[in-house]
Amino acid sequence: MTLFLQVLANGLVLGGLYACIAAGFSLVWGVLNVINILHGSFIVLGAYVAYFAYVALGIHPFVSVVLAGGVLFVLGYLLQTGVINRVVGAPVLTTLILTFGLDLLLNNAMLVAFKADYRKINLANPLGVVDLGGVFLPLDRVAAMALALLLTGGLYWLLNASRVGRAIVAVRMDREAALLMGVDVPRIYAVTFGLGAVMAGAAGSLLALIFPISPLAGTLYLGKAFVVCVLGGLGSVTGAIVGGLALGVVESFSALVFGPEHALTVSFALLVMLLVVRPTGIVGRRGYE
Amino acid sequence: MATVLVWALALAVVLSGVAPTLPGPAAAADKALRVGAPLPLTGPLSPEGLKQKRGYDLWVAEVNKAGGIKVGGDRYKVEMVYNDYQSNTPRAVQLAEKLISDDKVNFLFSPFGSGATKAASGVSEKYGIPTIAATASSEEVYNQGYKYLFGTFTPNATLTEPLADIVKGKVGDVKKVAILARNDLFPLAIGQEMEKSAKKRGLEVVFFEKYAIGTLDHASAITQIRAARPQWIFATGYINDLILIRKQMADLGVSAAVVTMIAGPAYKEFAEATGPRAENVTSAAWWHPAVRYKGPDVFGTTENYNKLYQAVYGAVPDYVEASASACGVILQLAIEKAGTMDPRKVRDALASLDATTFFGPVRFGPTGQIVSLEPPVFQIQGGKPVVIYPVAVKQSDLRIGVK
């Protein structure tokens, strides 16, 4: 029983991180119809911001979420207005190739700037582990998960309650109609892409506590984001949370039952099955896919 | 009589004219010796590729500073030709072929790791180009019957055997071993070697699982290890995997008398990234900066090698970097011994080489794999890797308990 609870806890904590990784990716894909290959590298860049902020200035990674988010927003906004907006109306393959190329550039820039070494933040006062009757919960992961869910919730609030958020949702629903209502669509695109980057940067600073950081780690995160989005349903914040938690729990249990070697195989097989049965994802709505 | 003299003179002229052209057309023109190296300079293996490159570059700088390699009466400067295979093994094979046929390199240094080295070794064999591998240890690489491939790492068992002896001797109550191995050529091979070494000594292997390349979470495997209560946890993989595994062990409250990780703790990045969690983690590698050897090579002694490396790169060299430099040193010794750049003669000189270098004694077995090294076992103590075996260079004793 303890083993079962421990594996469930492992899965939920991991799933929280997955949700955080995927939220921004899902937003950009849903609103802009752009598959942002840069997303993984944005996360890594956020992790580096947090790493250097901690090493040089002693800023706790939970605080540098704001810093990393800010840096990434500026980068994302400028990339969208300067580059991606020029082809945003083109078929999805064009924007995919564009972000793929930008990703190669960013990867190699980070290799030159940060070197290929693996780094990790080691807190001077680690949060430690709490033992709930044999079920161990690492507090840094729990806190990161809580913050991740808070951020994702914040995004949900922004989309539903703020003026700019409503404009984003309007553009997602019908670009032409939004344009006729006086929404500045290119600017909304840039804000959306910027917000996606904020989520990536914030996720990166939380992950810097947990995973080793290296310039090319982005592809792993990107793969997870992709699966989470398809699993949960595209373009919605709840989809990212549900998909993330589902993936985390499924991976944990399949590692237990089939061995860690097959954890990824099982989760991808489930994904394919879900696509056959429910192509919109667990909580996705038809029309947004 | 006069005719005989004329004939003799003519023969002498012809022979003397032929002899200098024998080493090949590239030699006389620019007096440079070209060594090709396909390396993973980008992609997931780039940290390893860059390490190898640093090792080669340091050797080239030292050789050229000393005037180059002596070939008979001549001196040749060394020129490295690097090609990036982007961590993609099939591309490494293509580039090995390109380096030989297009770039006309005289010698080749292998790509990273056992897998890619094995794949590319067929090419150098086909062209008869002597090739030295800096980072291939698995025996499957060398038992293909090839004549032109040489390697600076001893077989995997030479790492696990002394380790198992030390642990068995020092830790009385060690009975159960758990092995978590990355499903990849070298990490899996060394995991299986550990299983053999453990069983040979009557230890029970209570857990042996493989994890996929690119695994982001080890919590389930570690939870199972915790339930099996082993005294010795043996994890294999590359540095990023091992940093994550060590972190998640701590997250899940797993401790053991002995925790061994291969291959990662030899790199200074491991202790930096895991901080206090690195303490008392044991490992083994083919070389360690604490070993002390002295030889006729350009570096002379291990101390001098460490000093030069420190001066150029501002860090302590690890075994990959040293092994790459050793490839250069070994090639140089063989060429100087052969007195020619003729590939066949250099190959024979390599096969019969018996020398001590800054890296250690160098002697190759019949398969081309080095047989003379005694790989050190070490443990992170006070944030630094210290040698606990072999006795000759031992700096400390095994400390028990990893929390």
How do residues B200-239 score in pLDDT, each as one tens digit? Answer: 999 999 999 999 988 889 999 999 999 999 999 999 998 8
pLDDT at A239: 87
A212/B244 Cβ within 8 A: yes
Average pLDDT over residues A149-178: 87
In a domain, A58, yes or no: yes
pLDDT at B170: 87
Which stretches of B19-134 are DSSP H helices? 25-30, 46-65, 89-101, 113-127
Which residue's entry shows tokens 């010796």?
Answer: B33
In B117-174, which ranges are E strands? 131-133, 149-151
Q: Which CATH class is domain B21-154+290-363?
A: alpha beta
pLDDT at B7: 53
Q: How many CB atoms lie within 10 A of CB A176?
A: 9
Closest CA to B130 of B330, B360, B361, B363: B330
A129/B253 Cβ within 8 A: yes
pLDDT at A285: 64
In a domain, A2, yes or no: no
Q: Name every chain B residue with its beta carbon within 8 A of the beta carbon of A260.
A: 180, 209-212, 215, 218, 220-221
Q: Which CATH class is domain B157-285+376-393?
A: alpha beta
A141/B251 Cβ within 8 A: yes
Report residue A120's pLDDT band, with 50, 70 and 90 as the boundaries. confident
Given CB atoms, is A134 within the 8 Å cutoff of chain B?
no
Alpha-carbon distance of A64 to A202, in angstroms, equals 8
pLDDT at A81: 93
Closest CA to B327 of B41, B157, B93, B130: B130
Min mean pLDDT across A20-24, A113-117, A166-170, B194-198 is at: A113-117
Interface of A with B in 150-169 (CB under 8 A): none
Whether the predicted pLDDT of B74 surpasses 50:
yes
Q: Name every chain B residue with its beta carbon within 8 A of the beta carbon of A252.
A: 217, 219-220
pLDDT at A288: 45
Question: pLDDT tens, B335-383?
Answer: 999 999 999 999 999 999 999 999 999 999 999 999 999 899 999 999 9
Question: pLDDT tens, B292-311?
Answer: 899 999 999 999 999 999 99
Whether the predicted pLDDT of A29 surpasses 90:
no
In a domain, A272, yes or no: no
φ and ψ of B34, to 5 deg: -105, 130
> Of all residues in chain A, what percent are helix, strand and coil, respectively (each to 5)?
75, 5, 25
Chain A residue with CA closest to B264: the answer is: A118
What percentage of chain A reaches a pLDDT higher than 90? 42
pLDDT at B15: 44
B216/A211 Cβ within 8 A: yes
Q: Kindly state the tokens that stand for A140.
A: 């840094």
Interface of A with B in 204-243 (CB under 8 A): 210-212, 214, 216-217, 220, 223-224
Report residue B8's pLDDT band, with 50, 70 and 90 as the boundaries. low
In a domain, A31, yes or no: yes
In eight-state DSSP terms, residue B203 is -
pLDDT at B261: 96
Three-state DSSP class for residue B33: strand
A3/B227 Cβ within 8 A: yes
Task: Let me know: does B221 contact A255? Beta carbons within 8 Å.
Answer: yes
pLDDT at B269: 86
Task: Let me know: does A140 contact A16? Beta carbons within 8 Å.
Answer: no
Q: Name every chain A residue with its beta carbon within 8 A of the beta carbon of B273.
A: 118-120, 122, 212
Give the total number of structural domains in chain A. 1
Task: Let me know: does A122 contact B274? Beta carbons within 8 Å.
Answer: yes
Across all residues in chain A, what is the average pLDDT?
88
Buried residues in A43-78 as b, exposed as e (16+ CB within 10 A): bbbbbbbbbbbbeeeebbbbebbebbbebbbebbbe
Task: Let me know: does B211 contact B183? Beta carbons within 8 Å.
Answer: yes
Question: pLDDT tens, B136-180?
Answer: 998 889 999 999 999 999 999 999 999 999 999 888 789 999 999
B273/A122 Cβ within 8 A: yes
B269/A116 Cβ within 8 A: no
Q: Which residues pair with A77 in a beta bridge?
A: none
Whether the predicted pLDDT of B65 surpasses 90:
yes
Would you list the domain boundaries of chain B? 21-154+290-363, 157-285+376-393
Task: Choose, out of B53, B88, B182, B216, the residue to mutate when testing the contact with A (most A CBs < 10 Å).
Answer: B216
Q: Which residues pair with B36 in a beta bridge?
A: B81, B108
Question: pLDDT tens, A40-62?
Answer: 999 999 999 999 999 999 999 98
Whether the predicted pLDDT of A224 surpasses 60:
yes
Task: Choose, out of A110, A119, A214, A250, the residue to mutate when testing the contact with B (most B CBs < 10 Å).
Answer: A214
Q: Kindly report the nearest CA distance between residue B174 and chain A, in angstroms.
A: 24
A119/B272 Cβ within 8 A: yes
Whether the predicted pLDDT of A30 surpasses 50:
yes
Q: Name every chain B residue with its beta carbon within 8 A of the beta carbon of A54.
A: none
Average pLDDT over residues B331-337: 96
Which residue's entry shows tokens 């009975």?
Answer: B175
Report residue B331's pLDDT band, with 50, 70 and 90 as the boundaries. very high
Closest CA to B272 of A185, A120, A44: A120
Report residue B10's pLDDT band, with 50, 70 and 90 as the boundaries. very low
Q: Which residue has the higher pLDDT, A170 or B392?
A: A170
pLDDT at B25: 42
Q: Which residues contact A256 (CB under 8 A, 6 or more apart)?
A: A3, A7, B220, B223, B224
* End-to-end CA separation in angstroms for chain A: 39
Which residue's entry shows tokens 């109609």?
Answer: A177
Q: Kindly report the nearest CA distance between residue A164 and chain B, in angstroms.
A: 35
pLDDT at A91: 85
Question: pLDDT tens, B78-117?
Answer: 999 999 998 889 999 999 999 999 999 999 999 998 889 9
Cis peptide before B230 (omega within 30 of 0): no
Average pLDDT over residues B177-199: 93
pLDDT at B23: 40
Cis peptide before B263 (omega within 30 of 0): yes
Whether the predicted pLDDT of A79 surpasses 60:
yes
pLDDT at A289: 37
B47/A10 Cβ within 8 A: no
pLDDT at B29: 42
Q: Kindly report the nearest CA distance between residue A277 and chain B, in angstroms.
A: 27
Enclosing domain of residue A28: 23-217
> Of all residues in chain B, what percent are helix, strand and coil, respectively (each to 5)?
45, 20, 35
Which residue's entry shows tokens 């598959």?
Answer: A35
A118/B276 Cβ within 8 A: no
**Sequential DSSP letters for B353-402:** -EEEETTEEEEB-TTSBB-S--PPEEEEETTEEEEEESGGG--SPPPP-B
Whether the predicted pLDDT of A286 surpasses 70:
no
In a domain, A38, yes or no: yes
Measured N-to-C along each axis, helices A185-207 and A163-173 cross at an angle, to the nearest 10 degrees, of 110
Which stretches of B275-381 are DSSP H helices? 302-313, 319-338, 343-351
What percentage of chain B reaches a pLDDT higher than 70? 93
Q: What is the ipTM of this complex?
A: 0.86
Q: Name every chain B residue with its beta carbon within 8 A of the beta carbon of A13.
A: 219
Task: Choose, out of A117, A142, A209, the residue to mutate when testing the contact with B (most B CBs < 10 Å).
Answer: A117
Task: Choose, out of B84, B182, B217, B320, the residue to mutate when testing the contact with A (most A CBs < 10 Å).
Answer: B217
In a domain, A206, yes or no: yes
A255/B220 Cβ within 8 A: yes
Buried residues in B61-87 as b, exposed as e (16+ CB within 10 A): ebbbeeebbebeeeebebebbbbbbbb
